[in-house]
Amino acid sequence: MTLQRQVLIWAACFAVMVLVLWLLGPILLPFIAGFVLAYFLDPIADRLQKWGFSRLTAALLIVVLALLLVVAALVVFVPMLVDQVGRFAGELPALIQSLAARLNAWAPEWMKEAVNRSGTDIQASIMQFAGKASDWILSVLKTLLSGGLALVNLVSLLVVTPIVAFYMLVDWDRMIATIDSWVPRDYADTVRELGRDVNAAMAGFIRGQGTVCLLLGIFYAAGLTFAGLKFGLAIGLLAGALTFIPYAGAMTGGVLAIGVALVQFWPDYWAIGLVVGVFAVGQFLEGNFLSPKLVGKSIGLHPVWLMFALFAFGYAFGFVGLLLAVPMAAAAGVLVRFALRQYLASRLYLGADDTGDSPVPADLALPPEAIENRPA
């Protein structure tokens, strides 16, 4: 089979997969969530197997404990979170007005004079923006709480997702072995190497960075709540969730928390400093302990590429796309680097008569034996 025909076949398979995702997107959420959950928990099942548990018992134990934790979170924390988000949206205009007034009192005279000469009513503009932001948050919250499809998705997540995760955990190793048996034998070693690279990138992000986000979200929420900050639970969980983008979680959560603290606690410097200290300690823990231990030095995903993937897949496939964005971005990154290495070792790059050394960067160059044995 010629290379052109192979490329056409794989391109057609990819197009069919995208079409299926687009057509079935509204019903795929619990299945994708179950698959992601199984991938996240598979190392725990492997560890329990080493301790003497059967695969079936390990999968059942893990899924039951995870389901209990989710139900407990829904019963205890979700009502508090919804209440805080609703109150935050309602009080947002007043908070921004108070913060703007305080910053205006601290602003130097030359800045005030420049604003006055410009003829811009900054305070009115800020209030208009705050009102629109408040309305948007409330509308999103009402949609999530009252939408019929949202209720169906919630029920399906609580019922279907654990079942899917359980079966995926039980059959994970068998499924991987079956997929490996389908790979063309001539390319089995190459595909396995690519699979290991994709798995390393995905594991570093989904398992490693996901755990970092979870731990930091809990830490920020507990720390801000302990500090007495209004909406501390919501701001802390938001900061933890955004940690998957480097510095985004700390910056977003820090700006929100310090802004609320300045309005709520001023002139109590100790209380404001405590809020700042929560984020400082969180960043110290993330940079020196959590990320080095759980994620490693590199996960192979540039933050800009990651954000683009999230926007693109979210726009194309909705919430299901958000779940697929990171795995697809990791896989695409590995495949692009592999294609670049192949190109840099090919005659197209080196030239048909080039027999000298390849000016390929060391981190992209193929080993000599791979170049010698590459297909003509």
pTM of the model as a whole: 0.68
- pLDDT attached to residue 129: 60
Question: What is the pLDDT confidence band of residue 149, given thresholds at 50, 70 and 90?
Answer: very low
Output DSSP code: residue 348: H
Q: Are 198 and 331 in contact (CB under 8 A)?
A: yes
| DSSP class per residue in 36-52 | HHHHHHHHHHHHHHHTT
DSSP, collapsed to helix, strand or coil, labels residue 227 as coil
Instruction: Give pLDDT tens digits for 233-244.
Output: 888 888 888 887
Specify the residue for token string 């079956």: 178
Q: What's the whole-number mean pLDDT along residues 315-326?
A: 74
Domain boundaries, the chain: 24-107+122-182, 202-299, 302-351+360-376
Per cent of the chain over pLDDT 90 is 4
Cis? peptide before 267, omega within 30° of 0: yes
Q: What's the whole-number mean pLDDT along residues 209-228?
A: 89
Q: Are 240 and 213 in contact (CB under 8 A)?
A: yes
Least confident stretch, 50-59, 91-100, 191-200, 270-279? 91-100
| DSSP class per residue in 280-333 | HHHHHHIIIIIIIIII-S--S--HHHHHHHHHHHHHHHTHHHHHHHHHHHHHHH
- pLDDT attached to residue 119: 57
Q: What is d(CA 84, CA 131) in angstroms, rounded to the nearest whole number?
A: 17
Q: Are 243 and 218 in contact (CB under 8 A)?
A: no
Q: What's the whole-number mean pLDDT along residues 6-30?
A: 77
Instruction: Give pLDDT tens digits for 33-60.
Output: 888 888 888 888 888 988 988 888 988 9
CA distances from 312 to 30, 42, 136, 303, 308 (A): 21, 28, 22, 14, 6
Q: Name the helix (H) or strand (E) containing 262.
A: helix 248-265
pLDDT > 50? residue 364:
no
- pLDDT attached to residue 186: 78
Q: What's the whole-number mean pLDDT along residues 350-375?
A: 50
pLDDT > 80? residue 262:
yes
Instruction: Give pLDDT tens digits for 184-210.
Output: 787 788 888 888 888 877 777 777 778
For the chain, the residue count is 376
Output DSSP code: residue 204: I
Angle formed at CA 336 by CA 338 and CA 8, multiple of 5 degrees:
95
Name the phi and psi angles at 358, rounded to 5: -85, 130
- pLDDT attached to residue 219: 93
pLDDT > 80? residue 216:
yes
Q: Give the amino acid at 60.
A: L
Question: What is the pLDDT confidence band of residue 374, given thresholds at 50, 70 and 90?
Answer: very low
Per cent of the chain over pLDDT 70 is 74
Question: What is the pLDDT confidence band of residue 370, given thresholds at 50, 70 and 90?
Answer: very low
Cβ partners under 8 Å of residue 53, min gap 6: 61
Q: What's the whole-number mean pLDDT along residues 353-362?
A: 49
